[in-house]
Structure 1
Amino acid sequence: MKETQMAGTGGNPLDFAAAAPSYISDVLYLIASGYEDLVDCEAVERLNQANISFVRGEFVNALGLIEAVLADLDRSQPAYTSIAAFRMLLQSVVGPDPDRWKADVDERLLAVPGPPKVVHLCIESDRLWHSGRLFQGLRLNQHALQQSRHDCGQWHLYALVLLAKKLTDMHLRGQAHRLVGKVEACVHDSGLLAFEPVVEALRSSLHLQAGAFEKALASVAETLEVAQRRGSIIGVELALSVAAVTHLRLGNRDEAAACLKLFHARNGQHTPADTRARAAFAEISLVAAEEGPRAGAEEIRDRWHLLATESACFAEDVTRPAWLVAVALRAGDAALAERALCAIERLAGDNREVQLLAVAEEHARAVYRGDGRSLPLPLDLDAGARPGTGAALATSQEPKRSSVPPRVRPARQAASAARPACPPTLTARESEVATLVSRGMTNRQVANELGLSPHTVNFHLRRIFRKFSVSSRTQLCRLIAQTGPVPAPGLGPGRDAEPR
């Protein structure tokens, strides 16, 4: 997929006109985010320019305009709270200090329901999420969503998008798909069409995660086409990072490089941490494929700060930490391999409720020990070989046990679950329960998803354990990650079939 093709209309999707309402989506966005009680024409004009700058990705310009409006605005005016919330959001993503917003906000605005409180909860939820406190971040995001329910505009949309991305990171695809549907409804019901590209961008990441590569690329193409039509940059970086990784998985290095070139065309602008991590991983993978593991290991060191090792997006692909370990060991860099392993061990240890992380930890530890029990890695490490074409890192390619240096500290013992010689047959309900448990859901979450009681879920889970000859959720997850869920005879599409 070349740059002109990626654009959808033959032009660069990142080239937009100056901040002016030149699209019908601009006009609808200005109406949807309007401030009816403002009578100062100059203030209204600045706000309109700030809104258009925001959807064009010009956050610094938008912040300057918003600060100029607030400097002359009476705090008693109803519009003040929403404009102050806009400034909080911009200050949290512009510049080196993400806590800059705290110095300018009136604490009283955070104590009552309204846009500032919603934005405050969203900012804090992301801070917790990206510092490794996943469930606290998730709960705070859900609280922000509840607080914004009475405002079906941009603040409700903001909370929805952040929560959808978190659920995607945790591989809760069924819930994430439903939330993306709510994002789409909010965009259209509120007239916020400038945010329309983010809908397909979110779907593209879900398709990538499910291994539906053609669907992922179709969603990316639609994202870029809609972005061009709407004159918006929202969702474009997310889509380009997904496209880069997807092309790598398909063995299309040139197309992956073209996507990354477009991704970096907005150099200096804010990029969400999960999107930045995905792009960094793609760049490391390209270097490792083209120049070999030593160059790949150097890239890992150089880009370590971009890999989001303290949030669930580090294990967006459960083999990603294991792949980093493998690259480091192939390069003879034992310290880097230890660093990558410690990162996933720490993240999994701090979030034992997230089964996804336990599975990623198991794979990384298996590669580190060279015991051959990890999942095949998706990208080939041999320089000159096409990545992701099925010639994945095989057992014979994995580091031998003798090449692994002694650990500084005792390694935790891996669960000794042997792969069954003949995979057992599950009932339709057991297959549903096993699939949801493998995505990190608790019994109560599975019960809510399937309309069962937690007691019934536990009953099914005990039967599944017996059939697989395992004694823990971690062992079950590793087996399902290796073999995939075992469908019952005649079982049709599950509840998590991906809607379009």
Structure 2
Amino acid sequence: MASMGGNLLDIAAAAPSYISDVLYLIASGYEDLADCEAVKRLNQANISFVRGDFAGALGLTEAVLADLDASQPAYPSIVAFRMLLQSVVGPDPDRWKTGVDGRVLAVPGPPKVVHLCIESDRLWHSGRLFQGLRLNQYALQQSRHDCGQWHLYALVLLAKKLTDLHLGGQAHRLVGKIEACVHDCGLLAFEPVVEALRSSLHLQAGEFEKALASSAETLEVAQRRGSIIGVELALSVAAVAHLRLGDRDEAAACLKLLHARTGRHTPADTRARAAFAEIALVAAQEGPRAGAEEIRDRWHLLATESACFAEDVTRPVWLVAVALRAGDAALAERALRAIERLAGDNREVQLLAVAEEHARAVYRGDDRSLPLLLDLDDALPAFVASQERKSSPAPSGARPARQVAPEAAPACPPRLTARESEVATLVSRGMTNRQVANELGLSPHTVNFHLRRIFRKFAVSSRTQLCRLLAQTGPVLAPGRRRDAEPR
């Protein structure tokens, strides 16, 4: 993997000689321009973009627009391209608003689609997940008639958001649409992002070997296409997957490759994923105090106000636990307040409420409910989780944990049907009935039917009680039951 990444860094200087370049330039739709010099600059801008030189692409695009007549058919698409580049280049993410005619944004077309996508990401990364998701869906609707690169742009952003929210079924289907769009529209320079998105989905599903295979495929395709699109995402996923498998050296190598791409724009979620991996490496190698110092130093990279806590709900727990092991109560409280704010602002995302509950339990020194979603031995470095699961002393000023007796696991765990097992597993991940229904292709009414039966079998009356029992027993599949015989 290291050798492939090294070659990728040299691709930026290569001539536009890939067949994917030619198809991408054709798909860009600048052939109607009468000014040959403008077409040449725009082609150079597009090649610079897929090579990762966003600043160079922006300079070329602005030079073209300075001399271009707004009546040209290609003008809206060029404006949209400049808006996208301005939103990711430089310290001011709102720079794209300058020089954009409001009338252009009011009518259907590429500028409006890019405007909606940029605003959806702004909402998303400022912690308003539901609003960001809805605006992204609206952008996708607006882009359907244009197709091409702007439809692809909206698809990719939406797929990433659905992945963060653990809506794997919908995200997988969207990745399939992205793949079709890439090939149908000749946008092969964007082909690496397909496998990069799949690597993220595999990582979230705990399929670490598959995540690594998809990451490697991303790098190979990127080298073949002469593109950097999706490479940073794949490298950050590979680093976390290697960590989960205990391969620290490989994780460090992936992070080194990622940092070798200094100066290029890196999305906030990729930066956060890489930062968590780097902190985990330091904490595992040097202990909790060093880990806490890294958390403080890299806090601005962790994107705690956005969906990074939804992508991996063990992260808030992990931050709190590391801080407490280091004796840094202020840092632990900072992490706790971050997940409390995000969960409070996004009550529609039940997974965040689960993460908040876990973080609060660790902060108070109550480890009883920690296995609700993931075993902390998998979620935390070795120095944090011990086999004895000793409770940390609560920080001074913390409220004492509620003395509630944990639900006793049944002596003989009840048998669940195949469908009940699927429903129970998804509910234990914090999904709502509607989300479970979308994931399994059922109606919410049917999901509720299965859930009532599960409650009766486990003798519980709430989702929280069910989750705690499942953490101890795990759903058990009844033998001899056929899924197609169950109600839909």
Q: TM-score of the superposition, structure 1-length normalised?
A: 0.90
Aligned amino acid, residue 405 of structure 1: S
CA contact (8 A) 1:415 1:475 kept: no
CA contact (8 A) 1:312 1:357 kept: no
1:279-358 equivalences in 2 (<5 Å) = 279-358=274-353
Displacement, 1:470? Answer: 3.6
CA contact (8 A) 2:12 2:52 kept: no
Distance 1:380 1:447 in 2: 31
Among candidates 245, 251, 255, match of residue 256 of structure 1: 251
**1:93–1:17 CA distance, 2 compared to 1 (3 A):** closer
Displacement, 1:94? Answer: 0.7
Partner of 1:127: 122
Among candidates 454, 457, 464, match of residue 454 of structure 2: 464
**1:428–1:117 CA distance, 2 compared to 1 (3 A):** same
Distance 2:467 2:366 in 1: 18
CA contact (8 A) 1:172 1:439 kept: no
1:162-311 equivalences in 2 (<5 Å) = 162-311=157-306
How many aligned residue pairs are there? Answer: 478
Aligned amino acid, residue 122 of structure 1: C
**CA deviations over 1:130-164 (Å, ceiling 9, x no partner):** 11111111111111111111122111111111111
Aligned amino acid, residue 238 of structure 2: A
**1:178–1:477 CA distance, 2 compared to 1 (3 A):** farther
Distance 1:288 1:411 in 2: 28
Distance 2:234 2:444 in 1: 37
Partner of 1:432: 422
CA contact (8 A) 2:61 2:82 kept: yes
Distance 1:161 1:61 in 2: 23
CA contact (8 A) 2:320 2:336 kept: yes
Matched, 1:41 2:36: yes
Displacement, 1:413? Answer: 6.5
Partner of 2:397: 406
RMSD, matched Cα: 2.4
CA contact (8 A) 1:125 1:141 kept: yes
Distance 1:210 1:232 in 2: 27
Partner of 1:159: 154
Deviates more, 1:45-54 or 1:366-375: 366-375
Distance 1:32 1:469 in 2: 59
Aligned amino acid, residue 105 of structure 2: L
Matched, 1:20 2:15: yes
The percentage of counterpart residues that share the same residue type is: 83
**CA deviations over 1:146-185 (Å, ceiling 9, x no partner):** 1111122111111111111111111111111111111111
Displacement, 1:449? Answer: 4.5
Distance 2:192 2:226 in 1: 10
Deviates more, 1:262-271 or 1:464-473: 464-473
Displacement, 1:432? Answer: 3.1
Displacement, 1:492? Answer: 8.3
Distance 2:146 2:99 in 1: 23
Aligned amino acid, residue 181 of structure 1: G
Among candidates 361, 367, 370, match of residue 372 of structure 1: 367
Partner of 1:498: none
Displacement, 1:459? Answer: 2.4
Which structure 2 segments of 5+ residues have no match?
Answer: none
**1:192–1:348 CA distance, 2 compared to 1 (3 A):** same
Aligned amino acid, residue 454 of structure 2: I
Q: TM-score of the superposition, structure 2-length normalised?
A: 0.92
Among candidates 386, 396, 399, match of residue 394 of structure 1: 386
DSSP 3-state at the match of 1:221: helix
Displacement, 1:395? Answer: 5.6
Among candidates 127, 133, 141, match of residue 138 of structure 1: 133
CA contact (8 A) 2:339 2:356 kept: yes
Displacement, 1:346? Answer: 1.7
Which structure 1 segments of 5+ residues have no match?
Answer: 384-391, 495-500
